[in-house]
Each structure stands twice: as C-alpha cells, then as structure tokens.
Amino acid sequence: MAAQSRRARQQRAQRRRERLVDLHARVAAQERQLTTPQGWREWLEVAARFPRGEHSLNNLLLIWQQRPESTALAGYDAWQAQGRQVRRGEHGVRLIADDDRRGEQPVNLFDVAQTEPAEGVDGAAAVSLAPPTLGVSAESAREHVRQVLAQVTGAGDGAVREVEVQAAAFLVLRAHGHAVEAPSTAPTSTAARGCAERALTVARAVLGRSVDGGDVERSRALLERVQRGARQTAGLAERAQLRAARGAPGPGRVGRDLATVGEQDLFATPARLQRLAEVNAAAAAFYREQLAGAPQVRAQLRQRVGDGSALPGGFVLGYAPPDWTPLLDHLRAQGFADRDLLDAGVVQESRNGRLLDRFRDRVLVGLHDEHGRLAGFIGRAVPLDAAPGEHIPKYLNTSATELFDKGRALIGLHEQRGALEAGAVPVLVEGPFDVLATAAAPGAHGRVVPIATSGTAVSAEQVAAILQAASSPRFVLAHDADDGGRAATVRTAEMLLTTTDREVRAARLPDGHDPASWARAQPERVLLPYLDDRFSRPAVQVVIDARIASFGERLQWVDGRVDAMRHAVRVLDGQPREVAAAEALRIAQRLQLDPVTVAEELGEVPKSGRAAQRAIQQRLDALTGRARPGQGSAGRPHPARLASMAFPDRVPAPRPHAERPSTRAPGPGAGRDGQDRGR
C-alpha cells in the first residue's frame, strides 16, 4: 500500500509538472503574438478587464489564449461561497498560481459567465463588474502616465516609450469607464514583454490614486514602489485564487482585501524610505557586535566561508542572539519608534500582540536595494552545519516592507557591481553562503561574481538587474546539484533564453554539491564550472533535455516522442542559426526520430520559420562546403537532405538537382521520348 501511495503521489507530481510546462509553453507562444497589431490590441482588451492587479502578465496571456472574454475569475469553491454555482460541463481557465509553500501550481478558475445563482439564492445578487466613472480626461491620463514612466524607467527609447504610454493610458481610461479603442501600435519582438509589464505596472499604480491630481512629488515615490506594489498585488490575488480553488481557509487577520489596497500601500515618500534604511543600518551594527562576541558562531562561519578577509568590501555579516527581544530593546533605547521597527521588518508581532525580534539565533547577511541602501536581511539558522529543528525554517528573510522586496533582492550584486561592470562573469547561485564562499575563493575576484536570490525562485526583475549591471557576454547558472536546484536551473534558463542574446550556460557540479561545498572541497578547481566550457553545458540543451524528460514513460511510444520533440523544438525559436541546426539534429538523435520530422517541425515554430530554415541551410552548407544550386541561404532545405546528413547510413542522399528528369510537358514537335525533333 505504501508503495502504491508513493507511486500515486509521483504520478500526480509528474502530471502537475507536465501541466506547468504546457502552461509556460502557452505563455511563450502568446508572447510572440504581442508583436502584431491585432495581437497587441487583443491582449490590451483582456488586460483592461483586470486593471487593478488581479492577475500577473503570464496569467493575462493565458486568459487571452483560453477565454479572452473573461471578466471575473474565481475557483469552484469561491463561486459557491458567493452564492453562485458553476454550470455542469463548463471547462475552467487554467492559470499559474504562486503557492507560498509549493511554488508554482496549476489552478483552474471559472469566469462569472460560466456560473449561475445557486439554488435558493436571489439572482439579483450578481457580481458587479461595472467600472466607476471618475471623470478622468484622456489627456490628463496620458500625461500622468508619461510622468510616471519617466520616473520609473528614465529616458528610454522614444518609440518604445510611446507604445507604453498609449497602452497604460488605455488601461487607465478603460478602468474609469471611457469607451476608448485599444492602440494598434505594437512593440518590437525584443521589447514586447517589457512593454507589456511596464504598461501594466504603471497603469495599476496610477489607478491607486486620482490621475488628475498632478502630484509630481508623490509620483516620484513610484521609483521605489510601483513595480513591487503591482507584482505583490498580483501575487496576493493568485495565492488567494489557489487557496479558494483548494477550498483552503484564507490567511486570517494578516490577509488583506484587494479592494482596500490604497495609495498608502503603493506610495512611500523618500523620507520614509530613508527612515527604514536607518533602522536597518542600526540593526546591522547591533548584529555585527553580537557576531564579534560569539566565538562559536564565528568558528562555524569561518568553516563555511573563511575568515572574510578575501571577501570584497561591502558585505554585511552579523548574528542575531537567541533571546526574544535584544534588538527591540537596543533600538528602542536608540530612540526608534515601534512603528518604524515593524515597518522595517526587524521585529514582528506575536499572536498575543507582543513585539518580538524577527531573527533569533541566526547568522545574518545584509541585502541591499538597487540604490545601495540596506533593505533587509536573510538569516540562516544556527548551527550552520546541521538542519534546523522541526517547524524552524532553515532560511528566513525580512518580511515584505516598503524597502524590501524578496522578488527584487539580490545578494552580492551591490557589493560586486564594480567587478561586473569591468567584465567579470555573473554566476547565479541559490543562497548567501554560496555567494560568500565563491566570492572569497582564490582567484575569484575580478573573474566571477556570484549573485544569489533568496531561494530557487528567480524573477524577471532580478534577471534584468543582473544583465543591466554586467558587461560580460557570458551568464552562468550554478544552482545546487539536487532536484530543486535542477528545476530552478531549467526555469531560469527558459527565462534567460527569451530575454538575452548572451551565452547562457549551466554549471555542472557533482551530485549533492552546491557552490559553497564545492568551494570548500575543491578550492583549486572552484572556478572551473563557471569559466571552463568542459565543466558546464549550454542552457538551451538543459531546457531541451528537461522538456523531453517531462514526458516520462510516454517516450516509450512513437507518438510520445513526437509530442516531446514538438515541445522541445520550440526552445530553438530565436536561437542563433548554428545553435538551432545543431540542437535540431541532437533532438532527432536523442528521440530516435527521423530528422525529416524535426526539420518539418522547425518550419512550424512561430517567428522562427524563416530563421530556422536559414539555420538548417547554413548548417548543411557548412557540412557540404557549398550552397545549394539556384537557392540562397533563405531557402528551405529538403528534409531528406537533412536526414541524410544526420544519418548517412539510414537515409540515402537525394539525387542532385541536375539529375532530376524534367517534369515539363513536351513541346509541339517533341517525339515520344520527349526530345524535340524539329519540323
């Protein structure tokens, strides 16, 4: 029974992974349609129905793909709680929800149009969807959106900026009841996702206040909060949807109604942010003193990352003692108000209303924001070489504050920004000790820059921040060599392959190792996985292999291998010609499929039809040493020719073009053999 139960759990987990892979593939396909005028208009119409952050960009793309006419989405149980019943036979909209404990999860939601009043419930108690009319003028909306974009993103490209202004203003005006048409000017392929994200973010932030106010000073606060506020609101909505779909209870008194999120949640004055940074700086000084007075903790830290003398300057290390309120008492004595300590996230309120230190018996590493301010901390439970006790998290972050956002925080970026700008290779790792151990390794300074997120989840904002700071043409992923780390590598690689043209590689660490343990075990070889191609793999291969492996037992059958090929070959969309050609042949060989099938599928990939054909042709020309007669590099190679190059012992080469018999009808004086006899 135990074995059967374990197999059932494994099968459910496999199906869940396959659904997530399929949903992410759908998102990528919909993203490509954003570059067409019709696709851009259709997406804006969908986004306009959810103007206040109910859904993330990825889920808006999924709604567009599955049920674009949706107006209000909720889970089956959530509709029942509102007195409505999902009609029999209705199919839900499958979205991606972010669960606090389990990460991304597929969830089925139903539109209000798929429901009806439950038996015994008055039909008049319908869901109100009418937008308020606040008298906002079109010109004032566009002007305020333009100001907000300038505050958030700086100068930017003029054409791209105008696309974003038009889109965001459209969303604002639609939310206020204006019957305006969606703009038809679409972004370029390289800027589509960024344009969509910024338009959503700015529109949602502007809708948190009256756009006719013209308060420029308050708008400047968006520089600190606009993107974080929009993303957190979307995440809160999606987690609520996931709980509702499972029938789980809400988050209790800590939870918040999205309708009550006002401008105090989206706007923070510069003075307020400075005050929170001062609280964190005072807390860091206290933690540093506590570490100096804890020799046993220092010995454990030295064993993990050395004595710290080889670390670049700027890293903040400390120790939070195990007592309940030492930091609280210390900061109160320095004159900080309890409200400031709560808002900074260094203390928290217990169930009985008592204030307690958030971090206790933990080694702490400081986290800086993009402006270099100390925004928060991440703490590892002591002892460092053992798993923590039951119900004690191994790592603990500062809670979300006006200054700290886990989705944007990066460990090691601020401290090593100079090396990144000088050309050092960015290496994305999982945790703070991976950063410290690698940064302190012999020969690392100026050559590699380890950077970590607070866990395996990596956001688009974090990737963009690293790419903006780094000048190296190389980007290395070095997650832990376990199941969680490998899954994180695949997710991050998929994101990078669609956002950058740089060379992205995945380090090959021995099973069971992470960058910190590798640095301790092999100090003389610590940099090889990050700088030597023999110890890493191209990220495109990692993603392709993961997509193929997700089909599991279905690979035993031909139809399963064909489906896996179709899913894997889409990774090649937009890749360089030589990469697409080589990987297409590798896919065919791994799945034991005729390369003819892969070649045909490459021609069906959106946007890459011509690019993939040119890639294959270029590959064939390189192998044969000549171009096809009468056809340029843009021509489509014959599938049989590709098959012959990949498997010469199985597929005969096609006859040369000159040897093919003529298929033209014989002319008027031709004989029976087709030759012209003359008159």
Give tens-digit pLDDT for 652-675. Answer: 454 444 444 443 344 444 444 444
Q: Which amino acid is at 127?
A: V
Query: For the segment 548-572, what is each residue's pLDDT rounded down to a tens digit?
Result: 999 999 999 998 999 999 999 989 8
- Whether the CB-CB separation of 289 and 351 falls below 8 Å is answered with no
Examine the pLDDT at 204 and tell me if it is beyond 70.
yes
Residue 473 lies in a domain: yes
pLDDT of residue 256: 36
Judge if 81 and 155 occupy the same domain: yes
pLDDT tens digits for 93-106? 999 887 655 667 88
Partners of 362 in beta bridges: 320, 381
Which region among 238-247, 251-260, 466-475 has the lowest average model confidence (pLDDT)? 251-260
633 contact partners, CB below 8 Å, separation of at least 6: 614, 617, 618, 621, 627
Question: Among residues 353, 377, 405, which one ends one of the domains?
Answer: 405
- Given 235, 267, 299, the domain boundary residue is 267
Quick check: is 568 in a domain?
yes
Q: Are 365 and 316 in contact (CB under 8 A)?
A: yes
Q: 366 in a domain, yes or no?
A: yes
Q: Residue 661: its pLDDT value, please?
A: 44
0.85 exceeded by the pTM?
A: no
Q: What is the rounded distance in angstroms from the CA atom of residue 647 to the CA atom of residue 654?
A: 13
Statement to judge: residues 67 and 138 lie in one domain:
yes
Q: Do 157 and 300 belong together in one domain?
A: no
Q: How far apart are CA 560 and CA 593, in angstroms?
A: 11
Residue 233: is its pLDDT beyond 50? no
Higher pLDDT, 1 or 302: 302
Q: Are 101 and 231 contained in the same domain?
A: yes
Distance CA 142, CA 188 (A): 21
Whether residue 226 has pLDDT greater than 60: no
**Claim to verify: residue 65 and residue 214 sit in the same structural domain:** yes
Q: Are residues 520 and 605 in the same domain?
A: no
d(CA 429, CA 441): 15
Of residues 247 and 64, more confidence is placed in 64
Q: What is the mean pLDDT of residues 186-191?
A: 74
- Which positions ≥6 away from 184 have C-beta within 8 Å? 37, 38, 40, 41
- Which is more confidently placed, 570 or 260? 570
Let me know whether 488 and 565 are in one domain.
Answer: no
Top-confidence residue, 54 or 568: 568
Q: Are residues 527 and 556 in the same domain?
A: no
Query: CA torsion angle for 391, 397, 398, 399 (degrees, to 10)?
Result: -60
Query: Does some domain include residue 555?
Result: yes
Q: How many other β-carbons are positioned within 10 Å of the β-carbon of residue 497?
A: 21
DSSP reduced 3-state for 60: helix
Q: Which two tokens stand for residue 365?
A: 């590493």
Q: CA dist 76 to 146, 212, 247, Å?
A: 40, 39, 9
Residues 355 and 412 in one domain: no
Q: How far apart are the C-alpha atoms of 361 and 287, rounded to whole Å? A: 11
Please say if the pLDDT value at position 586 is more than 80.
Answer: yes
Tokens of 659: 């040897």
Mean pLDDT of the chain: 77
Question: 3-class DSSP state for residue 161?
Answer: helix
Highest mean pLDDT among 225-229, 487-491, 579-583, 627-631 belongs to 487-491
Q: pLDDT tens digits, residue range 423-453?
A: 999 999 999 999 999 999 989 989 999 999 9
Last residue of a domain, one of 371, 405, 439: 405
Q: Per mean pLDDT, which of 61-65, 174-178, 382-386, 609-613 is the most reliable?
A: 61-65
Asked if the model's pLDDT at residue 628 lies above 80, the reply is no
CA distance 260 to 243: 20
* Domain co-membership, 426 together with 401: no
Which CATH number belongs to the domain containing residue 325 in this structure? Answer: 3.90.980.10
Confidence of residue 206 (pLDDT cuts 50, 70, 90): confident
> Do 311 and 234 belong together in one domain?
no
Assigned domain for 675 exists:
no
Q: What is the pLDDT of residues 8-40, one digit of tens each?
A: 777 787 888 888 888 888 888 888 888 888 888
Give yes or no for residue 615 having a pLDDT over 80. no
Looking at per-residue pLDDT, the higher value among 561 and 165 belongs to 561
Average pLDDT over residues 528-537: 95
Residue 400 within any structural domain of the chain: yes
A 10 A CB-CB count for 418 gives 14
Dihedral Cα 198, 201, 205, 211, nearest 10 deg: 40
Asked if residue 526 and residue 443 are part of one domain, the reply reads: yes
Range of the domain at 296: 269-405
**How many Cα atoms are found within 13 Å in the side-chain-facing hemisphere of 156?**
21
- Number of domains forming the structure of the chain: 4
The pLDDT tens digits for 382-426 are 998 888 877 789 999 998 888 998 888 999 999 999 999 999 999
**Is residue 249's pLDDT more than 90?**
no
Most confidently predicted of 47-61, 210-224, 321-335: 321-335
Whether the predicted pLDDT of 114 surpasses 70 = yes
Count of Cβ atoms closer than 10 Å to residue 250 Cβ: 11
Residue 669 in domain? no
Which of 32, 166, 138 has the alpha carbon at shortest distance from 498?
A: 32
The reply to whether 214 falls in a domain is yes
DSSP string, 177-200: T--PPPP--PPPTTTHHHHHHHHH
